[in-house]
Each structure stands twice: as structure tokens, then as C-alpha cells.
Amino acid sequence: MDDNENDRGRCEMNIVKEEKIKVILYALYSLLGAYVLVDYMRISTTCIVVFLVAGILYYFQKIKMKNGRLWTENKIVHGVFACLASLTIVLCKHMVVNFNEFYSDITTNYIVSFSWKDIIALGILIYDCMLISFVCARILMSERINKIMQEQKTGSEQSFKIRKMLILAGVIFLCWMPYFIQNYPGIIYADSTLSLSQAMGKTPYNNHHPIMYTLFIKLCLYIGSFFGGNTIGVAIYSILQMGLMSIIFAYSVCWLRNKNISKTVCGCVLVFYAMPRFWAQHAVSMWKDPIFSVLVFLFSLRLFDIIYSKGKILKKKRFIIQCILCVFGISLFRNNGIYVVAFSLVMLIFASFVRKGRWLVTRRFMVCMFLSLIVAYIIQGPVYSVLGITSDPVESYGVPLQQVARTVVYDGKMSETEKEFLNNLMPLDKYRENYSPGLVDHFKWSGDFNTEFFNNNQKEFIKVWLSLFKRNPKLYFEAWAMNTCGFWGINYWELNGFTRNLIMGIPKGEKLFDTYQIVAHNCTDENGILQSYFSLRTPIPAIALCLWLALWMIVIGYLKNRTRYLILFIPCIGNILTLMLASPITYWPRYALSFICLLPMCMIFPFIINSARCIYSR
């Protein structure tokens, strides 16, 4: 007995020692992992911050140990997400970008050399991101959180009340009114004046800024002419835009309520759309982007409803008409919209196929959608050509132009024939002074750029671009990254405080009156309290954070066996993809405003899909 008791005692002591060793190893790794994470995420590496993050990582490791089986089962999914996130974190850590001065050159926007330390850091970051993704997913999918977010009753589309939606829309509209009063008749930009000039007949129509958007402005000015002139016309534009945005946001709150999301959460979503000042700012801004963005947002909700209702909602003609209007609005109000719609419809087809060869989408719906897309394409192509409405081909080559420019500036490999072609495009000795890594406009609108030569030699440009890519892939990737990083760089925290979204390009009041007969003025005391509170320098959530939140929700959807419901994110992701292929600027929030519209739905997504009976497999 004594020997057995001694053996048992030694075993217990060994277990205690092993536990102590684990605790020490976990603590040491937590400190190392916290320091690397804080450093590469570009957060202050003070002791307080590092120890706080280390404590969180230590706690997360204990949760991981308690859920060892789930960690093993799900580590591949979390690992893929972690690898993508970690690669972008390391890359952006080495990219120095001046987001406040887009015309800055390569001395301000540049890439710091990588080293072997980055490889070690990458490994640590992948594990950190896997750990954070896994534990946060476990917390988010817990029953306790689900009870807070959801109500245990069956919702239905039939319970939707138009009256309630209009009341909520009125609340949002009234919350935005002070900005309309402060910036009457609306915020007009340099881009706005181009559309105004065309709408007033001062310049020929051009599809650089979509014609349908210009015609909408023309309609508002025409109505305004009966009530006092162009100032009233712009005010009508602002009110109609405010009305459209407030109705769609109010609809989204009711949409959540019909998905069994609790009244408290729906109230918070309403506050999100009504109170932050950046919504009101965009609502009274004469830009095509607010209308385009809310239509993309609405289209996302409508596509989700097809999957959510298992195709039953397609029996309603009203629903199909709404989708057709969204397709036309998205396709004709932004030149990249037609690609967003096409991508979304293709992904909907994949999402709608179920077992036993059945489809959730009806043939009638898909015919209507594709016909709408074809009509939109014909309008933008042959119809505009017949009417003599031109566009700027160079607009579609933002990233390729940046890539060939960087190849010249950094002495990439080129043949004599390619040098001759690029010299015809712009004198080779002028590339350096005209190349801004974060903005293609400095290059393509330069007086040194031969626009006529480019327009007449687009096919040859593509050949040269492809040829240079084979020999300069590194420079091409750098040019792409520097020109798009604002939309996917999760560790650019300064973008959450980005305040130049609405103050750039606003023309002087004198110019508006002399050229366009528009009197822009503040209807209250310009030096009062309201002026300081309703400032145009208002932060807006970074697009990259919204994107990565959506990508993480895709992970959650996969783990919950709800992959079909990921259609909710497809239109916004399609918009981001077009920006990554042809963005003219490294960051501009209004280009991807639809993702900020979708932000509450991203955060509530796991609870939205909980209310749906997922009877289908992936």
C-alpha cells in the first residue's frame, strides 16, 4: 500500500509540475504573441497594452484547451482565415502610406524592406489570429448570446408593416435634417459640378459620371425651375436622396425584426443609421455613391431573402420588380455596377442549388435578372454610342497604369520597343514626377500624359502591360498594393479617424453662384454651436474592418453549415473586388460605402441565420 501511495503521490506531483510548466509556457508565449500582434497591428507597444493583450491571449489559450476537439475539427477553416489576415498585416506593416495627401510621391509612399524577422512574426500572427478567430466564434455561437440577440418565435415576411417602416424612416430623416439646414441646399463637390454642367446643357453629355445620375440631377433642376431655380433643384435632389436612404435603412431595421432579432438590437441598429453624422453627411452630398451604395445594400438583403424563404418569396411579383429596379439602379448609377450585379447573380445561382437537383430560384426570376442586366449593358454601350455619349476609356485602367508607371520609375525590365511605347504615352523622364503610388489621377490627368495616344492604342497597351508583368511581377504587386491597400489593410487604424472624406473638392460659393446660379449657405448661425457640432470633419468606420468582419462571418457561416446564407455579403464583396481591380485611389470611403451600410447585418449575421431552418447541406 505504501508503494502504491508513493507512486500515486509522485504521479500527482508530476501532473502538478506539468501544469505549472504549461502555465509558464502559455504565459511566455502570450507575452511574445502579444508583443508581435501589437507591433504588427501598429498599436502602441507600451507595457500596459502588451500585458493586457497577453492576458487576453492567455485566457483564450485556456479556452482552446477546454475545447480541444473543436479546435482540431475547425483549425483548417480558422487557419485559412488567419493566414490571409496575417499576410495582409505583415504586408501593411511595411507599407508607409500618406492617406491625407493622395498626391504625395514615392518619397512619402513607399515599402520598407522585409527581413527574416517577418517570417517568424508571420508564424506567430497566424497562430494568434487562429486563436482569436476560434475563441470569438465560440463566444458568438454560445446559447447565452443567442438568447439576448434573438426572440424565440417564428417571423415571416407577411408580418412586415409598411406603416412602421415609414415611421422609422421619418425618425432617421428628421435626425439628418440639421445637416441639410447647415449645408443648404446640399454639399456640392467638384465632381458634382461636372454633372451639373451637363444637366444644364453647358457641356456635352459624357459617361465619365454616369448619364443616368446626370439625368436624375437634370430632373431635380427641372422641378426646381418651377419653384425658384437651381438652388431649389439641388435642395429637391438632397431631399429625395435623404428620403431614399432613410427608407432603405428603415426597411433594413424591419427586415431584422422579421428575422426574429430582438427589439433592443433592432433599436440599436436604428440608432446606428440615425445618429452617426457620416450618414447625414452622405445623405446631403451630391455624389452618385450614396444612392449606389444603398441600392447595393438593399440588393444584398433581397438576395438573402431568396435563400431564407427557400425560394417562396419569388412567387411575389412585387419582389421581382424590386430586384429589377435594384439591378437597373446599381448598373446605371456607377460604371462598375454592372459587374457587381453580374457577379452577384452568378453566385446566387451557386447558392440556390440544393439536393435532388432542385433550385431555389425560379426560371422566371433568373430570366428577368439577366434580361435586366443585358438591357443595362445595351443602354451603356450601343445606345450611348448612337446618341454620341462618350466615356473616358482611361478610367478603366487605373491599376494597370499605376503598374506600368511604377515599372518605369523603379527601372524595371523593359525592351526597347516597350520603352518606345511608354515614351509615347508619356516622356520617360516625366514618369517619376507624375507617379503618385496612392492616386492614379496624378498620372492619367497630367498634361504630360498623351490621352489621345492611349485611346487609340488600348489593345497595344494591354499587350505591353502583360509583357511587362511577366518580367516585373514584384513591381506590379507593389503598385497594386499601394493603390488599393486602404480597402483591405486592417492595421491602418488612422482610416477609422479619416476626416477628409467630405471636405475635399468642395467648390467656393462664388463659383456655384456665378456658374450654376446656386446659392449655398448655412440657414443657421454660421459661428454658433450647431456649426461646430455638425462639422464635415467626421470620422467614419474603415472599409477594411468591415471587409474583414464580413470575411470572418463567412467563416462562421461555414462552421454553422449555413454557407448558402453568405449570399448576404456577395454584392458588397463584388463591389470591393472591382475596386481592387480598378480603383483610382488608395482609399476613399464613399467608393465602398455599401459595406458600412451592411455593418450591422455583419455583426448580427450568426443570429439572423439561426432563425432559418437550414435543411440543406453545404
Q: What whole-number distance in Å separates Cα of residue 111 and Cα of residue 327? A: 40
Q: What whole-number distance in Å separates Cα of residue 390 and Cα of residue 247? A: 34
Q: Where are the alpha helices (DSSP H) in 485-592?
A: 509-516, 529-533, 543-559, 570-582
How far is C-alpha 101 from the chain's CA centre?
21
Listed range (13-27, 67-81, 535-549) with the worst mean pLDDT: 13-27
Q: If DSSP codes are grouped into helix, strand and coil, which group holds residue 491?
A: coil
Please return the burial class of 459, using the count of CB atoms within 10 Å of its CB with bins 0-12, 13-18 and 19+.
exposed
- Cell numbers at 17, concatenated: 509540475
Q: If DSSP codes are grouped into helix, strand and coil, which group holds residue 186?
A: coil
Q: What are the tens digits of pLDDT across the range 350-373?
A: 888 876 667 888 889 999 999 999
Residue 610 C-beta-side C-alpha neighbours within 13 Å: 22
The predicted model gives 582-587 an average pLDDT of: 89
How far is C-alpha 265 from the chain's CA centre?
23
Asked if the model's pLDDT at residue 500 lies above 80, the reply is no
Question: 584 to each of 77, 124, 483, how far by Cα in Å?
Answer: 33, 34, 7
Listed range (116-130, 187-201, 541-555) with the worst mean pLDDT: 187-201
Q: What whole-number distance in Å separates Cα of residue 85 and Cα of residue 127? A: 11
Task: Work out the pLDDT band at 223, boundaries 50, 70, 90.
Answer: very high
Please name which of 181, 175, 180 lies closest in space to residue 270, comparing C-alpha atoms.
175
Q: What are the tens digits of pLDDT across the range 263-311?
A: 889 999 999 999 998 999 999 999 899 999 999 999 999 999 999 988 8
Residue 459 C-beta-side C-alpha neighbours within 13 Å: 0
Backbone angles phi, psi at 96, to 5 degrees: -95, 115
Q: What are the tens digits of pLDDT across the range 409-440?
A: 999 999 999 999 999 999 999 999 999 999 99
